[in-house]
Amino acid sequence: MVDAPTSSSSLADLWKARYRQPPPDVALPENTVVRGLMAHRSVRAFSAASVPQGTLEAAIAAAQSASSSCNFQAWSVIAVTDPQRRARLAKLAGDQAFIAQAPLFLVWVADLSRLEHVADAHAQPHVALDYLESFTMAVADTSFAAQNAAAAFESFGLGIVYVGAVRNHPGEIASELGLPPRTVAVFGMCVGHPDRKQPTAIKPRLPQSAVLHHEKYAGSEVEVPAYDATMMQFRAEQGMSPQDWSTTVIGRIRDAKALHGRDRLREELVRRGFELR
């Protein structure tokens, strides 16, 4: 069996794994950062080894180095290592066992409460926090920071997987983590050493021609049938049930039930103090 490409592999090998196509006929600039990013794979099986000391702090420093809208830094992150709390969070987040298995679970939080406190401390109004733009900005800041942290963890040889299911029960998650008003968990992130007995592979993505447009949006529907075939092949290689990408995404957008409780997210956000005007 051919070894799966890693961050030490050539960019050409990583390109072939990511797109199931040869690289383009242009000279691609190559360095360890790009190879590390292209070698990403989601990890859902972790060894019992703990995350090395200092790794969390280094990754959060990388997270805080991400771009921030107006330098508002409208995010926080909760590091959860307590096994019982991880188990409770796993139950709330879709009964996903790997959340309890991973030695470190990070909950990334869109946080407007800090800005509210700053304004209150100076006896100033904070009306703009009530608008959708401020919430959108906080979610963007949270996402930029988390992806920087993910890249940092992977550069240290650790594995990660994002967990959107923390939005299934935002109120219960907030209670478990003691989140104040004007904060909400946007997603979780499992972190740990990948279990070598259960290796994961680089999942193919849509071809660049589906997402990269020049000057004007050009559509991408023509690329979908070929990508469906690619994903069918990938799932077969991984011993997964046969299902193409179109069937997968349709199942997740078909109706409100597919959102697993997140169809009530707006109401929950209002309860959390986000007015979303």
Per-residue confidence band for 136, with pLDDT thresholds at 50, 70 and 90 = very high
pTM exceeding the 0.75 threshold for the entire prediction: yes
Average pLDDT value for the chain: 95
For residue range 233-271, what is the model confidence (pLDDT) as tens digits? Answer: 999 999 999 999 999 999 999 999 999 999 999 999 999
| pLDDT band (50, 70, 90) for residue 3 | low
Sheet containing strand 183-192, edge to edge, reads 75-80, 104-111, 183-192, 159-163
Q: What is the pLDDT of residue 7?
A: 82
Q: Quick: pLDDT tens for 79-113.
A: 999 999 999 999 999 999 999 999 999 999 999 99
Sorted by where each begins, the domain ranges of the chain are 1-39, 41-195
Report the 3 state secondary structure along 213-274.
CCCCCCCCHHHHHHHHHHHHHHHHHCCCCCCCHHHHHHHHHCCHHHHCCHHHHHHHHHHCCC
d(CA 134, CA 74): 9
State yes or no: pLDDT of 74 exceeds 80.
Answer: yes
Q: What is the pLDDT of residue 1?
A: 37
CB neighbourhood size of 2 (10 A): 5
- Is the separation of the CB atoms in 225 and 208 below 8 Å? no
User: In this predicted model, what pLDDT tens digit does every residue of 197-208 receive, in sequence order?
Assistant: 999 999 999 999
Fold of 41-195: NADH Oxidase (3.40.109)
- Enumerate residues 6+ apart whose C-beta is below 8 A from 269: 135, 170, 184, 276
pLDDT tens track for 261-274: 999 999 999 999 99
Per the CB < 8 A criterion, the answer to whether 83 and 155 are in contact is: no
Q: Are 34 and 9 in contact (CB under 8 A)?
A: no
Least confident piece of the model among 121-130, 134-143, 218-227: 218-227
Q: Which of 253, 254, 235, 256 is nearest to 244 (CA)?
A: 235
Position of tokens 């960019």?
A: 11
Q: For position 126, what pLDDT does the model report?
A: 97
- Give, in order, the Cα–Cα distances in Å from 141 to each of 40, 69, 76: 21, 7, 10
Q: Is 86 exposed, middle or buried (0-12, 13-18, 19+ CB in 10 A)?
A: buried
| Cβ count near 238 (within 10 Å) | 10
167 within 8 A of 124, measured Cβ to Cβ: no
Q: What is the pLDDT of residues 20-33, one digit of tens each?
A: 999 999 989 999 99
CA distance 253 to 235: 21
Which helix (H) or strand (E) is 109 found in, with range? strand 104-111
Residue 180 has pLDDT above 50, yes or no: yes
- At 2 the pLDDT is 44
**Which tokens belong to 78?**
């909760």
Q: Is a pLDDT exceeding 90 seen at residue 4?
A: no
